[in-house]
Amino acid sequence: MKLLLTSAGVRNPSIEAALVGLLGKPIAESTALCIPTAQYGHPNVGPGEGPWKFISGRSDLRMTGLGWKSVGVLELTALPSIDEDLWVPKVREADVLLVAGGDVLYLAHWMRESGLADLLPTLDDTVWVGLSAGSMVLTPRVGEDFVQWRPKGGGDETLGLVDFFICPHVNGDDVPGNTLAEAEEWAAGIEGPAYAVDDETAFVVVDGRLEIVSEGHWTLLHA
């Protein structure tokens, strides 16, 4: 699987160029499935207007509104109740999965429960575009600072498809998001490469190789 892990979506030309490079064709010729699930579990989003804006492309965070050939919805909470033959082929056919932000552990839980987590390693040519929690869910852990919803008996472990950690939205003192001081405090409880990134930064991961694409600022807090 090819990964584009963003803090706040496809925010600038550099991130968009990286996306097109991963797709190997224009966005207008590519098919997408969007996954809004993480939003339901976040106390500041929940069901309602937030997921609708993400699905419809009305959100300020550029994901579904990029001009795709087609966009469908993959709601993970529904998948355990339907036959795999109804949704697995659609995932395999899609060029890209667009994964909303929200609550990281809620998303990780439903990725496991739905079977999507088990399917991901078989999707060699699919591009995963994560937004905030949609990116963090592929790291090994989120750290206690980002825990809001937690599965019964669970810790802060996520899926571990990459071997580094992400603190998103580190946008400075005068911009909404996290401060670098808060990111450093978060990183103190993390063992392994931990990055603090602003909303103009993304990670590209292909075959285990990491590249950082940015028109903003990022910091490797510890290696």
Q: Are strands 96-99 and 127-131 parallel, antiparallel or unpaired?
A: parallel
Look at the chain and report how many structural domains it folds into.
1
pTM over 0.85: yes
Q: What is the tens place of the pLDDT at every residue in 40-67?
A: 977 777 787 888 999 998 888 899 999 9
The alpha helices in 26-152, defined as continuous H runs, are 37-40, 49-56, 84-93, 104-114, 116-119, 133-136
Q: Is the dihedral of CA 185, 186, 188, 194 positive or negative?
A: negative
End-to-end CA distance of the chain: 24
Question: Which DSSP helix (H) or strand (E) runs through 15?
Answer: helix 13-23
Question: How many Å apart are CA 173 and CA 180, to the nearest integer?
Answer: 9
Q: Which residue has the higher pLDDT, 173 or 214?
A: 214
Structural domain of residue 139, as residue ranges? 2-222
Output the domain CATH number for residue 137: 3.40.50.880
Q: What is the tens place of the pLDDT at every residue in 150-166?
A: 777 778 889 999 999 99
Q: Within a 10 A sphere around the Cβ of 208, how many other Cβ atoms? A: 7
Residue with tokens 């994901």: 63
Q: Which residue has the higher pLDDT, 150 or 185?
A: 185
